[in-house]
Amino acid sequence: MPMYKVRPFQGGPDSAVLAEHLPTCMYRVRNVHRHLQGGGSAAATVSSSPQDEVDPSLQALESRQDEILKRLYELKAAVDGLSKMIQTPDADFDATNIIHADEHPSLTVNAADLDTLLGKDYGALKDIVINANPSLPPLSLLVLHSLLCERYKILSAVHTHSSVKCVPENLLKCFGEQTKKQSRNEYQLGFTLIWKDVPKPQMKFSIQTMCPIEGEGNIARFLFSLLGQKHNAVTATLIDSWVDTAIFQLKEGSNKEKAAVLRSMNTALGRTSWLVGSELTVADVVAWCALQQTESTNAVPANVQKWLKSCENLAPFNSALKLLK
């Protein structure tokens, strides 16, 4: 043995006494040095014989480590597989399984339960806050606000943030005349619009459990989801894609891009009455608003023209249109 020995402080019988005085609230660890000590004093409590080359507890520890390493490798492999799939979605991703797994038939409207959609109820008004720049009013959010008003009891409020000096009168009254006769907690949902100097529209709901949502398209998706429409994965993806196209190409894109979008819209609207399927979706709302704000509604293809008309026949769209004038 390479270390020097120290004479035990406690005599043989005393050590047993000492052991009895150990606190009982802690768990015991077996003495790994025990088999190296002179047999006499410790022998009474030693369970394994000192001749054993490998302690079973060490073996157990080793096997546990092996197991953990194995699981880590498995996890790593799974993550590698996932990342590969995401890099090349077209090659590896097979959508058929997911479509079959999806129980919902296309466009079923479920009764929306705000509590399940918006999380735990703390017994007070749930308030959605949207910050938007008055120089770029997010028309689609106003349409969605009207759509939400048709379904829920909504307390709407418009504020001006101190970062903007003046807001046009029509924007301050964009929710129409409010009748705030009831107390706040009788409403199902709060919708607070703040005109503020922000580069992009921004939505805040629960600051504890949710990060702010940025961008008109993303907020529109969130608000539309409150209406409780459920779609299968393919339709949902199609809707998502139209929303992005509307925001990035129709609203912010070049003239060439816009023309291309209008062509593909025309084709899509030739097959169905709305952009996706036979019911109004968030894609229609966002695309319609983007088209209104590009100010070129006159020179659009025939199917799109027809679709524009049918949008405008709906009250929420109509009221948003008045705001533009």
Kindly state the number of chain residues that form the binding site for other proteins, as judged by CB under 8 A: 24
Which of 62, 32, 63 is CA-nearest to residue 48? 32
Tell me the closest approach of the beta carbon of residue 176 to other proteins, in angstroms: 16
Options 121-129, 223-231, 262-270, 278-286: segment touching other proteins (CB under 8 A): 121-129
Which of 26, 202, 227, 41 is CA-nearest to residue 146? 227
Q: Point out which residues pair with 203 in neighbouring strands.
A: 130, 213
Q: Closer CB to other proteins, residue 130 or residue 246?
A: 130
Among 7, 23, 122, 256, which residue interacts with other proteins (rule: CB under 8 A)? 122
Residue 320: in which H helix or E strand, if any?
helix 315-324
- Contact set for other proteins, span 127-156 (CB under 8 A): 127, 129, 131
Q: What is the DSSP letter of 213?
A: E
Q: Does 241 bind other proteins (CB under 8 A)?
A: no
Q: Closer CB to other proteins, residue 153 or residue 159?
A: 159
**What distance in Å separates the CA atoms of residue 219 and residue 141, rounded to the nearest whole number?**
8
- For residues 158 and 195, the answer to whether their CB atoms sit within 8 Å is yes
User: For residue 118, what are the CA distances in angstroms to 10, 75, 122?
Assistant: 67, 32, 11
Q: Does 123 bind other proteins (CB under 8 A)?
A: yes
Which of 50, 48, 45 is CA-nearest to residue 20? 45
Options 66-74, 97-105, 157-165, 273-281: segment touching other proteins (CB under 8 A): 157-165
Q: Does 116 bind other proteins (CB under 8 A)?
A: no
Q: For residue 107, give the amino acid letter.
A: L
Options 93-101, 124-132, 225-233, 313-321: segment touching other proteins (CB under 8 A): 124-132
Options 11-19, 140-148, 178-186, 262-270: segment touching other proteins (CB under 8 A): 178-186
Would you call 291 helix, strand, or coil by DSSP?
helix
Would you call 130 helix, strand, or coil by DSSP?
strand
Tell me the closest approach of the beta carbon of residue 144 to other proteins, in angstroms: 20
**What distance in Å separates the CA atoms of residue 167 and residue 185, rounded to the nearest whole number?**
29
Tell me the closest approach of the beta carbon of residue 179 to other proteins, in angstroms: 13
**What distance in Å separates the CA atoms of residue 19 and residue 23, rounded to the nearest whole number?**
9
- DSSP per-residue letters across 65-114: HHHHHHHHHHHHHHHHHHHHHHHSHHHH--HHHHHHH--SPTTEEPPP-H
Tell me the closest approach of the beta carbon of residue 134 to other proteins, in angstroms: 13
Options 182-190, 250-258, 268-276, 312-320: segment touching other proteins (CB under 8 A): 182-190
- The phi and psi torsions of 264 (rounded to 5 degrees) equal -70, -30
Tell me the closest approach of the beta carbon of residue 168 to other proteins, in angstroms: 14
Q: Closer CB to other proteins, residue 160 or residue 218?
A: 160
x/- site string to other proteins, residues 189 to 228, per CB under 8 A?
---x-x-x-------x-xxxx-------------------
Tell me the closest approach of the beta carbon of residue 190 to other proteins, in angstroms: 9
Among 83, 97, 179, 185, which residue interacts with other proteins (rule: CB under 8 A)? 185
* Sites of contact with other proteins (CB under 8 A): 120, 122-125, 127, 129, 131, 159-163, 183-185, 192, 194, 196, 204, 206-209
